[in-house]
Structure 1
Amino acid sequence: MLLFLILGVLSGPEVTKYVLDNGLRVVFVEDHSAPVFAGVVQFDVGSYLEHPGITGVSHLLEHMLFKGSKKLGTIDYGREKKIIQRIWDIYEKLPYADSLERSKLREELKKLKEEEKKLVVSEEIWKIYYRVGGANMNASTGNTSTQYFLLLPSNKKEVWAKIESDRFQNLVLREFYSERDVVNEERRMGDGNPSSVLWDNLIATAYIAAPVRWPVIGWESDIMNITPQEVMDYYKKNYVPERCVIVLAGDVYPEKDIKLVKKYFGRWKKRKPPLIRITQEPEQRGTRRAHVEFRATPRMGIAFHGPYYGTKDYFALELLSMILTDGNSSIMRQELVDKGIATSVNSYVMDFDKKVVSLMTIFVNPAPGKNFKEVEDSVFSILESIKKEGISQRSLKRAKNNYKKDILSWQKNVLWMAIGAASNERVMGDPEYSFKVLKTIEEIKIEDVMNVLKKYISLDRATIVTLGGEK
């Protein structure tokens, strides 16, 4: 029997939530302004579930889920299955084979891959969706979630339900090794991007224990050594209804459309996900520093552990971040960029969905002729000055207005509306949680912002990573 709840609306569209017998949560967000809907399938699966040896498996799995199923992406799965298994067997034998046997195995592998290609219907999922008017089809993997989304005409909901339910229940690791190479090439491209390298080193230095310290894409040695069986085991363990939220937003009719969702997703077998123990970050005792040798314009990242997401302190820290760097009139833009100390400065707060403590970051690009020490001294001088002099009511009001504007702007786009509702439901158990955030933001006072500044932001709590230029 379905459980459902019509949720009260606070400055937003009508939202209806159901929970299927298998534990799958389904949310409808109504907006009948256009005959389209956004479909989002979001899993509580990300790099936080990984460990050294299989880093990047969540992202690799995301790639594999576009390869199809036993029905999609193949003209004869029975024949293809045998070829896939033999390819896996050969890859397992290759590292241990002598040169003569290795040569024979590689020749067989080449022939098998040619046979496999004849049976594969490349990108069939994409082709079906685009044929029926789909748009914005994509997916993303993060530290704490993986999501799949697209826009479709509202009369194509059954096409969506049929495809999505099939691929999430009946995954086939088709063309696994070639896709693994694609992912590793993506990893290498990131290794050539100074901003990506700075971020990887900053988060790995800021967190010494919590499982968000490795890159979402994974380390190269893990990507290139992970086996199909390890990926399949990870999929079966974690891609379960209880860890999934589905959102349909736009031209949807909950009472009618839930029957369609139940028809296809109700078949998904209920499986209890394993207990998750997340290693929590110990208290930081002293400044942490690292320098990355890299041929690039010098840049610096500074990070501070913050409060958990959902607390009043967390949202006060978000407002502090905006006061510091959001807009040309922000404090650090005026003190660093306008005065020629830096060419750019930005600040963000990573929340990690309450799983581990948040991280406030400040990224600064030194101006020509300015070294890292000068920039660092300037940043901390500004922070200490604010602690003594405080912030203005005007700065706080501007930050609040911008924060609220960002949240409300999501409601103007059905895809962003759907993604936001999915995240809210997955993390907080409330698809309309963003509207509660608006209330919390409004209640925050100058004292609250000053308290988090003094509590979390100081040199002895900082992680400082520099890249390029001189140490």
Structure 2
Amino acid sequence: MAARVWASLATILAITMTLALAHRLEAQTRERRASEFTLSNGMQVVVVPDHRAPVVTHMVWYRVGAADEPPGVSGVAHFLEHLMFKSTEKLASGEFSRIVSRMGGQDNAFTSQDATAYFQRIAKDRLAKVMEMEADRMVNLRLTEAEVLTEREVILEERRSRVENNPQAVLDEQMNAVLYYSHPYGIPVIGWEHEIARLTREDALNFYKRHYAPNNAILVVTGDVTPEEVRRLAEDIYGRIPPNPEIKPRKRPMEPEQRAARRVEIKDPRAGKPSIQRYYVTPSYVTAEPGEAEALDLLMKITGSGATSRLYQKLVAKDKVASTAGGWYGGSSMDFGKIAVYAVPADGVSLSEVEAAIDAVLADIVANGVTEAELQRAKKSYLAEYIYESDNQATLARRYGWGLVVGRTVEDIESWPERISKVTREDIQKVAARYFDPRRSVTGTLLPVPPEGVEQTRTSAPNGRS
């Protein structure tokens, strides 16, 4: 009886705290935090003021990523990202970053399947300078043959160190290749090694001229600025660049119905311990039905996030069949999302035993759902994370930029906490039943073997691919 009373009190407390967080967020977002406008050349601009320090984060996002590459030149989006730090008509190779550093700032860039982004964190009075340099390389990239060849070798070495020398990364790459039948998310962002080795200056410049233009870009500025200040600078600096009339909405091959589970096995002497993981194809926040992505986020928070999750508690804490276990949902991409679950068997436990234990946890959620206490704890965790991240201007720049570049709106981004707060236990059980479907999945295993027993990869798929 006492245990039930304490459980009820804990649930009531969790609900109360979740409502308090939700009310705080509602107060914060009653008025839009971000301002947005569009320049005459089509460049979208978002400003998120934060006047606590005289610092700004300046980001330019391009609506192009690895999934938009032509066939046969995988890795060219990432390759071009590297080359954007080379010479332009005004700057020598490497001078962009040196200038930012001399001004006391930081800069970097990254490429994903759906976007390429460049950012600088800088004192407010240097914002115009980084805008001028970013606008310059948007249209004036020069590229010498020597720069291209040198950077190609850098990327090949990056692939060798990050992928080829890491059995877990090899497994992840192979699983993604099998997870998608026709969609380009199955091709790694860094590219396949044999295609990277053939990338040329012409490949990079063609991709650059096709996709880098103000009407294919989003400018996000967060920090000690006002929308009016940013508008004046953006119109004066970026507004001079003519739009590219050839820019069209992105169109990609889509997936057929997935009808059979697939498996990938990697044997490698460099693997420390055996492990198992599984990916399920799901919708993303862009493609999901209303409320589905939010429910998937909460489902995987409960199922796989941290020591209180279902997987960790059952496999590690209670049954002791795994040394670690967990999972997550990634829904930030443009076309598809992904659920992942994973575990490392405890000593003396087979991979098949651990896989059966994972399946049992997922089946229980499908059959019986989650508890109200679990749901409130997951909501509280997410809402708290949202509040804390909102205090970081660099995180804010990424939050808005990433959402907008895949097709979401400012309103959609800012109303996320409200939508999370409305998810019910029934919503979670519904998406669990729909997406914990083996036919939508790839299961991968990594096995350590003696050096003489290496078998790099074995794939089993319903269509006989290998």
Indicate if the aligned counterparts of 1:12 and 1:411 stay in contact, CA closer than 8 A.
no
What is the CA-CA distance between 1:275 and the residue it aligns to? 4.8
Equivalent residue for 1:424? 403
Cα distance in 2, alignment partners of residues 68 and 417 from structure 1: 30
Is residue 2:408 matched to residue 1:454?
no
Equivalent residue for 1:103? none
Among 101, 115, 129, the alignment partner of 2:100 is 129
Indicate if the aligned counterparts of 1:13 and 1:30 stay in contact, CA closer than 8 A.
no
Would the alpha carbon gap of residues 12 and 363 (structure 1) be closer, same or farther in structure 2, given more than 3 Å must change? farther
Indicate if the aligned counterparts of 2:57 and 2:393 stay in contact, CA closer than 8 A.
yes
CA RMSD of aligned residues (A): 1.8
Cα distance in 1, alignment partners of residues 340 and 362 from structure 2: 13
Indicate if the aligned counterparts of 1:28 and 1:248 stay in contact, CA closer than 8 A.
yes
Which runs of structure 2 are paired with 1:286-297 in the superposition (5 Å)? 286-295=260-269, 296=271, 297=273
Cα distance in 1, alignment partners of residues 300 and 248 from structure 2: 36
Would the alpha carbon gap of residues 12 and 193 (structure 1) be closer, same or farther in structure 2, given more than 3 Å must change? farther
Among 211, 214, 231, the alignment partner of 2:184 is 211
Equivalent residue for 1:436? 415
Equivalent residue for 1:300? 276
Which runs of structure 2 are paired with 1:366-381 in the superposition (5 Å)? 366-381=345-360
Indicate if the aligned counterparts of 2:332 and 2:403 stay in contact, CA closer than 8 A.
no
Cα distance in 1, alignment partners of residues 440 and 122 from structure 2: 47
Matched to 1:144, the amino acid is D
Is residue 2:163 matched to residue 1:144?
no
Cα distance in 1, alignment partners of residues 274 and 324 from structure 2: 11
Equivalent residue for 1:268? 241
Would the alpha carbon gap of residues 186 and 54 (structure 1) be closer, same or farther in structure 2, given more than 3 Å must change? same
Among 337, 343, 346, the alignment partner of 2:316 is 337
Which runs of structure 2 are paired with 1:53-202 in the superposition (5 Å)? 53-73=72-92, 122-135=93-106, 137-174=107-144, 175-189=147-161, 190-202=163-175
In structure 2, runs of 5+ residues without a counterpart are: 1-26, 450-457, 459-466
What is the CA-CA distance between 1:408 and the residue it aligns to? 2.2
What is the CA-CA distance between 1:350 and the residue it aligns to? 2.6
In structure 1, runs of 5+ residues without a counterpart are: 1-7, 74-121
| TM-score, with structure 1 as normaliser | 0.84
What is the CA-CA distance between 1:352 and the residue it aligns to? 5.3
SS in 2 for 1:212: helix
What is the CA-CA distance between 1:407 and the residue it aligns to? 2.2
Displaced runs of 4+ in structure 1, greater than 3 A?
Answer: 11-14
Cα distance in 1, alignment partners of residues 359 and 143 from structure 2: 50
| TM-score, with structure 2 as normaliser | 0.85
SS in 1 for 2:361: helix
Indicate if the aligned counterparts of 2:278 and 2:340 stay in contact, CA closer than 8 A.
yes
More displaced stretch, 279-288 vs 310-319 = 310-319
Indicate if the aligned counterparts of 2:369 and 2:428 stay in contact, CA closer than 8 A.
no
Indicate if the aligned counterparts of 1:11 and 1:435 stay in contact, CA closer than 8 A.
no
Cα distance in 2, alignment partners of residues 242 and 293 from structure 1: 47
Cα distance in 1, alignment partners of residues 359 and 33 from structure 2: 46
Which runs of structure 2 are paired with 1:28-43 in the superposition (5 Å)? 28-43=47-62
TM-superposition CA deviations, 1:25-78 (whole Å, max 9, x none): 0111101000000001111111110244110011000000011311101xxxxx
Among 309, 316, 324, the alignment partner of 2:303 is 324
Among 327, 330, 335, the alignment partner of 1:347 is 327
Cα distance in 1, alignment partners of residues 31 and 326 from structure 2: 30
Matched to 2:65, the amino acid is G
Indicate if the aligned counterparts of 1:13 and 1:29 stay in contact, CA closer than 8 A.
no
